[in-house]
Structure 1
Amino acid sequence: MRETKIVFFKYIAVVLGLFLALDIFIQYQLYQRYRNDQKLSVYHQTAAIRAQLEKEVNSNLLLIQGLADYVSFHPDFSISELESYCQGMLFRSNLIMNIGVAPDYIIKYVYPLDDNESILGLDYRFSPELWDKVKEVHDTGKMVIAGPLDLVQGGRGLVGRAPVFVRSNEYFWGVVSAVIDLNQLLVNAGLSDLPNLDVAIRSVDAEGVDDAVFYGDPKLFDSDNSPVSMQVILSSGSWKIAAIPAGGWGIIPPGSIILHAILFLLALTICFTIYKIITKNAEVEMVKTNLSEAQAIAHLGNWSLDLLTGKIWWSNEIYQIFGLVKGEYAPSKRIFFSELVHNKDRKFVRDTYIESMNSGEPYSLDHRIVRPDGDVRYVSSRGRFSYDVNGKPIRAYGTVHDITDRKLIEEELRESKIRFDHVTEKLSSKFVFFSHTIDGEFIRLSKGFTHLGYGSPEGGIGRSWTELFDFAPESLIIAEKNNARIISGKVESTEYEVEFTTPDGQDRCVSVYAYLAYDFELEKNVVEGVVLDITDRKAWEERLKILTRAIENAPVSVVITDTKGAITYVNPYFCKQTGYSKKEVIGGNPNILRSGEHDDSFYQDMWETLVHGRTWRGEIVNKKKDGSFYWELASISPVYNEKGEVVSYVAVKDNINDQKELERLKADVDLIMRHDLKTPLNGIIGLPGLLRMDDNLTEQQHKLLKTIENSGKKMLHMIEMSLDMFKMETGKYEYYPLQIDIISVAKQVIDHCRSSISAQKVQVELVASGNANLDENLFVWGEERLIYSLLSGLLTNAIEASPSGEKIIVEFKQDDNTLISIKNIGVVPESIRERFFHKYVTHGKASGTGLGTYSAKLMADAMHYDIKMQTNDERNETVVGFEIPKERPE
């Protein structure tokens, strides 16, 4: 249909194009002729106006010139003579309004005198606006026309002035003038009655320059209007006339619309004829195409055989069915039976064909064919024969239907039934397939029925399900309601769960999936479906509910996220603790709880632990919705699926605000006690000094008092260091660096550690490198007390870790910065290497507290020193060193 429309529109486009071109050509010719006729008509009317204007103006100018001639011959005229002459002029012309005579440029005579007294005595020489024209009359000796002008007495007029020369032009006598009524002039020229013509007139001076338009619309002179122009020749100067038809030039010639209509009807007639021809051809082609398409869709072809000539005709689909190309294969009866029919079906097909021809009955049979490519297909052949008057067969015809797909479906149905039987048998402990009538009487049951505790399926056939199963009351109502919905057609299928008690007393729960189907064997609707035993699943669901209730009511926060960190679940206690609702956090990120109290490395360590499949435990400060902070003891663990893949993370967090508050109070109390111990300790330190001032003391007593004083000072130093360490931990320590000789401090530390060195049986050696020299001072920025404690703690730790008989090396290296390192034999255990400087980290020491390296790190950080630990298993040594900046820190 679409191709037919395309062909039709192509022809229509050609026809319309030809008629359009013909119409344009004819209309153009008509337009040109019409335009020329208009031009000629306007030209004739304009020429008449021009002639009339020239006649009226020139005739009146001749009267004025006659007056000038009269005066030149009668310069001594009397008033009565002049009035008589002027009266005659006005009688001969209805255009002249008044006449003036100006001897020696002064107007002394006016006719008529009424309403013109004001111009008597006018001297042209003293009137700048008139003198130029009057002087032109004198200079040229010819009549000069001025105007059109606006007249004082109203209206517009032309002023004609003629020179007067007397005594045979021996001298200039003066000027005679007359006013011509312009409005009456235009009426006399016929301009007052032009219904079919628009006219405009403009004056042209003696030199041919256009002046203003004094009649009509100035736009008529525009070249865009294509006016007809004519020149009105006057005795001095001229006028120009422009004229066009009233309303403009016509563009639609007379008869144009009729011609359009005739051409349109002619084109429409031709198009309709073309449409009928194309439509009829298209219908024929469509019938052929539809037949061919129908055969292709149905895989059904038709054929005919002329038994007299042996000529066979096949439709296109016959070629498709047999896998042949039309034009490359000539069908014949012999080739059909010997090559195309399957060799195992040839005899059957041939016998059926001959039997039908002899009996005159139609034949129908299914058989196989073999395509040239070896593909075997199934076809259904139907045919019959035509006979002449003598009963002799003369023609055979029929159809061939490709039924391969149907045969394959039948085969698949057989296989499906076998597979269904296998499923119902192999999964009989899980599924029960059933069919029952509208009344509930079972007509089919699979082997799974046995596992429900009701014996063999045959025992349930013929019995109603309401009679067979001992349903719980509420389950019976559910089952009856859903069956009624299916049977009534309100739903196509239904799914519901019911509980019942088996004959052996077991409570079971099943899920029923049912739908309404038509049973072709019984020829009525039945209910079919499957029953799934979900007793075990229900038990697991109940356990899951208990677990869910436990989490929902737990007094700890529980948060579950996916692998990308998006929150998928929070329990009510989380909402109570944080102030956020579930709606606000689900889909969000736990980052909304970040307080800013932990640096990025804290969270990085947390994620690295989780990514490696380990559980992270630790204390964390989080922020509630209202902005307040709170402490939590958190445990975050990955959750794995059956494949061992991490699918989510679960965090269990307990609020430890109260515990943290107790720790803070304990620290405050500890700080107060340390501070208050200094007061009595100062008395203890000062008392031995007073006692030693007594001269009655023995040497032994002096030593004892000195020992007491030194012990007190040492205890005071320890208390002060403890207070400083607390300040460093809380970030409140104020650091005041000075220039300290670190080699001198190191030697003091070694002297004070002599007893430990001897007890451990090790050696301590000082080594210098770079610009350092042990015999000179090595000044660095720091606090002597902190440097002393730092070196003392690191050296003590090295002494305790070093095996007996080994050497401990303390190296001083000075380049740009100063590096002090303490090296001992032995390695740090691998379990604490990453946490070497952490608080309470110790290993293998019965009396170790894990505060030595922690305090060393605090003091190094307070003085802006970079402290590091390196341990080497191959060399079996450990080096702890700190680098001191050269410049004084802020």
Structure 2
Amino acid sequence: MTEDGLIQKNFGDGVFLADFSGKVVYINEQARLKFGYSAKPLQQMEFYFRDFLPDIDLGTVSEGIVTGAYGRNAEGETFPLFFSMNSFWLDGDKYSLVVIQDIKNRERLDKELSEPLNELVDLKFALDQSAIVAITDRRGVIKYVNDKFCEISKYRAEDLIGQDHRIINSGYHPKEFFARLWRTISSGDVWQGEIKNRAKDGSFYWVDTTIVPFLDEGGKPYQYLAIRFEITERKRMEGELQKMMTRIIDVQEDERKRLSRELHDGLGQNLYSHLITINRLLSEIDHPLLVQMQEEAMEMIEEIRDLSWELRPSVLDDLGLVPAIRSFLNRYSSHYKISVHFECVLGRRLPAGTETTVYRVIQEALTNTRKYADVDEAWVVIREYDDAVRVIIEDRGKGFVVSGGPRGVGLFSMDERAKASGGELQVLSEPNKGTKVILEVPVG
């Protein structure tokens, strides 16, 4: 079948295409017959939109709407018809596609139009039952809100329309949060995230939000559709779980500290006393069993010290984060033959909980390095900013696929410690391209 045949089959009685000036650049055979024009090649004739539809302005007809009108044929006679029109842009020029329908097909047309309209009404009803919906213009001014929006925000629709979303701003998120949001949607991309809002009565609520920009012919947003689902209860439960996890971590660290002290000051000291006794006996009696006892006692003391250190290094509590890290890195490099390059810009002691978090994340990350990376060097960087400390632990080893795979105990532990300190952990890795662990924790 020819292209013209396909158009006739798909568009019924006739179709023509007009450019922005109204000049017809394509017309099919059925449209020619309907309007009584000859079959001369189009380039030898000049058809204009108003030759067919004299009472319709090309620039004002709603796109996609079938409208009753009078057509005019080549003899100047008028007759009733129905048509639909859609405009589009091609290579920077605007065109209008007009589809002509015979008057006898009005009942079929009405049915075809009503079906998608009814479907849209059903979809809107379903969405309104579960979602909080708002539409804003390009500047963020609210043009439409549904009943669900009013129900959760406790504002009336007339209170919201004409305002922007600052009316429900809770003050929880920093300005940069909303700046990033606006950069995303104003560039034409969809934004998704969780936002804490404040209702009219002062109560707070959380929403899982998707904002979709609607783009004009130039690819610029002319309005935004925001669809939200309330997640206040979920966020409350997450908060309770986080408090519980923070408490568990604190209890764990306290128990580690207690066991470390008992091993070092109790069992360790007792073994050291036995070693002194053995040394005294050796000074008086030369016997191979005493030499063996001396060596075994020294090995046990060293094992106790290592275990005590792994549980909780006393230098972390006594001298602070940086000496503890330096001591750990020295022992780490000596034991595992991995050279660690350490760079630190930190001019003060941090809160005890923050120091513990930083130390444990470095410890866990380097443990993963020695187990899986297959390298002989690594890097640790600590930098202090105005309101945060950033820690980077990096190796250039085997790497792994971060997303989609199971999270090991080590990664889970680091992530939970970061959250417990109000911070954020990011793991970047690719196979054969190494691994970078980035911890950022706030400081007062």
TM-score tier, shorter chain, comes to 0.5 to 0.7
- Give the 3-state SS of the residue equivalent to 1:547 in structure 2: helix
Aligned partner letter, 2:102: G
Q: Distance in 1 between matches of 2:164 and 2:147?
A: 17
Q: Distance in 1 between matches of 2:163 and 2:195?
A: 19
Give ranges in structure 2 of 5+ residues lacking alignment: 1-53, 55-70, 85-100, 276-292, 384-388
Q: How does 1:5-24 map to 2 (within 5 A)?
A: none
Aligned partner letter, 1:751: N
Q: CA deviation at 1:606?
A: 0.9
- In the superposition, the TM-score normalised over structure 1's length comes to 0.29
- Give the 3-state SS of the residue equivalent to 2:194 in structure 1: strand
1:756–1:582 Cα change, 3 Å: farther
1:656–1:702 Cα change, 3 Å: farther
Q: CA deviation at 1:612?
A: 2.1
Query: Which residue number in structure 2 is paired with residue 658 of structure 1?
Result: 233
1:576 aligned residue (130, 151, 168): 151
- Give the 3-state SS of the residue equivalent to 1:782 in structure 2: coil
> Which deviations, in whole Å up to 9, do the C-alpha atoms of 1:589-620 show, x marking residues without a partner?
11100011111001011111111222211111
Query: Which residue number in structure 2 is paired with residue 548 of structure 1?
Result: 124
1:796–1:545 Cα change, 3 Å: closer
Q: CA deviation at 1:765?
A: 5.0
> Which deviations, in whole Å up to 9, do the C-alpha atoms of 1:478-530 show, x marking residues without a partner?
xxxxxxxxxxxxxxxxxxxxxxxxxxxxxx37xxxxxxxxxxxxxxxxxxxxx
Q: Given the alignment of the two structures, is residue 634 of structure 1 paired with residue 209 of structure 2, yes or no?
A: yes
Query: Which residue number in structure 1 is paired with residue 102 of structure 2?
Result: 448
Query: Which residue number in structure 2 is paired with residue 782 of structure 1?
Result: 349
Query: Which residue number in structure 1 is paired with residue 190 of structure 2?
Result: 615
Give ranges in structure 1 of 5+ residues lacking alignment: 1-411, 432-446, 453-507, 510-532, 722-735, 769-777, 814-818, 832-840, 862-868, 883-888
1:748 aligned residue (314, 327, 330): 327
Alignment root-mean-square deviation, CA: 5.8
Aligned partner letter, 1:536: E
Query: Which residue number in structure 2 is paired with residue 559 of structure 1?
Result: 134
1:613–1:850 Cα change, 3 Å: farther
Q: Given the alignment of the two structures, is residue 539 of structure 1 paired with residue 106 of structure 2, yes or no?
A: no
Q: Given the alignment of the two structures, is residue 600 of structure 1 paired with residue 256 of structure 2, yes or no?
A: no
1:859–1:755 Cα change, 3 Å: farther
- Give the 3-state SS of the residue equivalent to 1:614 in structure 2: coil
Aligned partner letter, 1:589: D
1:784–1:614 Cα change, 3 Å: closer
Q: Given the alignment of the two structures, is residue 418 of structure 1 paired with residue 45 of structure 2, yes or no?
A: no
Query: Which residue number in structure 2 is paired with residue 79 of structure 1?
Result: none
On the 8 A contact 1:810/1:823 being kept in 2, the answer is yes
1:544–1:703 Cα change, 3 Å: same
Q: Given the alignment of the two structures, is residue 849 of structure 1 paired with residue 411 of structure 2, yes or no?
A: yes
- Give the 3-state SS of the residue equivalent to 2:74 in structure 1: helix
Aligned partner letter, 1:781: R
On the 8 A contact 1:765/1:808 being kept in 2, the answer is yes
On the 8 A contact 1:579/1:625 being kept in 2, the answer is yes
- Give the 3-state SS of the residue equivalent to 2:202 in structure 1: coil
Bigger radius of gyration among the two:
1
Q: CA deviation at 1:854?
A: 9.6
Q: CA deviation at 1:764?
A: 3.3
On the 8 A contact 1:767/1:810 being kept in 2, the answer is yes
Q: CA deviation at 1:543?
A: 1.6
- Give the 3-state SS of the residue equivalent to 1:597 in structure 2: coil
Aligned partner letter, 2:193: G
Q: CA deviation at 1:790?
A: 3.9
Aligned partner letter, 1:546: D
Query: Which residue number in structure 2 is paired with residue 59 of structure 1?
Result: none
Q: CA deviation at 1:577?
A: 0.5
Aligned partner letter, 1:753: Y
| Identical amino acids, percent of aligned pairs | 19
1:880–1:708 Cα change, 3 Å: same
Q: How does 1:191-270 map to 2 (within 5 A)?
A: none
Q: CA deviation at 1:579?
A: 0.6
> Which deviations, in whole Å up to 9, do the C-alpha atoms of 1:506-558 show, x marking residues without a partner?
xx37xxxxxxxxxxxxxxxxxxxxxxx42222222222221232233x13211
> Which deviations, in whole Å up to 9, do the C-alpha atoms of 1:833-877 show, x marking residues without a partner?
xxxxxxxx889996362775997899899xxxxxxx9x9xxxx99
Q: Distance in 2 between matches of 1:716 and 1:825?
A: 25
> Which deviations, in whole Å up to 9, do the C-alpha atoms of 1:57-102 show, x marking residues without a partner?
xxxxxxxxxxxxxxxxxxxxxxxxxxxxxxxxxxxxxxxxxxxxxx
Q: How does 1:181-580 map to 2 (within 5 A)?
A: 418=74, 430=83, 448-449=102-103, 451=105, 508=107, 533-552=109-128, 554-580=129-155
Q: Distance in 1 between matches of 2:243 and 2:420?
A: 19
On the 8 A contact 1:560/1:648 being kept in 2, the answer is yes
On the 8 A contact 1:794/1:853 being kept in 2, the answer is no
- Give the 3-state SS of the residue equivalent to 2:222 in structure 1: strand
Q: Distance in 1 between matches of 2:439 and 2:242?
A: 31
Q: CA deviation at 1:648?
A: 1.9
> Which deviations, in whole Å up to 9, do the C-alpha atoms of 1:260-308 show, x marking residues without a partner?
xxxxxxxxxxxxxxxxxxxxxxxxxxxxxxxxxxxxxxxxxxxxxxxxx
Q: CA deviation at 1:748?
A: 0.9
Aligned partner letter, 2:166: N
Query: Size of the alignment, in residue pairs?
Result: 322
- Give the 3-state SS of the residue equivalent to 1:565 in structure 2: coil
Q: Distance in 1 between matches of 2:105 and 2:347?
A: 90
1:807–1:664 Cα change, 3 Å: closer
Q: CA deviation at 1:563?
A: 1.4
Q: Distance in 2 between matches of 1:857 and 1:671?
A: 8
Query: Which residue number in structure 1 is paired with residue 161 of structure 2?
Result: 586
- Give the 3-state SS of the residue equivalent to 2:167 in structure 1: helix
> Which deviations, in whole Å up to 9, do the C-alpha atoms of 1:553-595 show, x marking residues without a partner?
x132111111111111111111111110111111211110001
On the 8 A contact 1:801/1:826 being kept in 2, the answer is no
- Give the 3-state SS of the residue equivalent to 2:159 in structure 1: helix
- Give the 3-state SS of the residue equivalent to 1:781 in structure 2: coil
> Which deviations, in whole Å up to 9, do the C-alpha atoms of 1:412-449 show, x marking residues without a partner?
9xx9652655x75xx96759xxxxxxxxxxxxxxx935
On the 8 A contact 1:567/1:589 being kept in 2, the answer is yes
Q: CA deviation at 1:657?
A: 1.5
Q: Distance in 1 between matches of 2:435 and 2:411?
A: 22
Q: CA deviation at 1:623?
A: 0.4
Aligned partner letter, 2:411: T
Q: Distance in 2 between matches of 1:782 and 1:606?
A: 35
Aligned partner letter, 2:74: I
Q: Distance in 1 between matches of 2:382 and 2:147?
A: 61
Aligned partner letter, 2:127: I
- Give the 3-state SS of the residue equivalent to 1:637 in structure 2: strand
Aligned partner letter, 1:754: S
Q: How does 1:822-841 map to 2 (within 5 A)?
A: 826=396
1:795–1:561 Cα change, 3 Å: same
- In the superposition, the TM-score normalised over structure 2's length comes to 0.53
Query: Which residue number in structure 2 is paired with residue 278 of structure 1?
Result: none
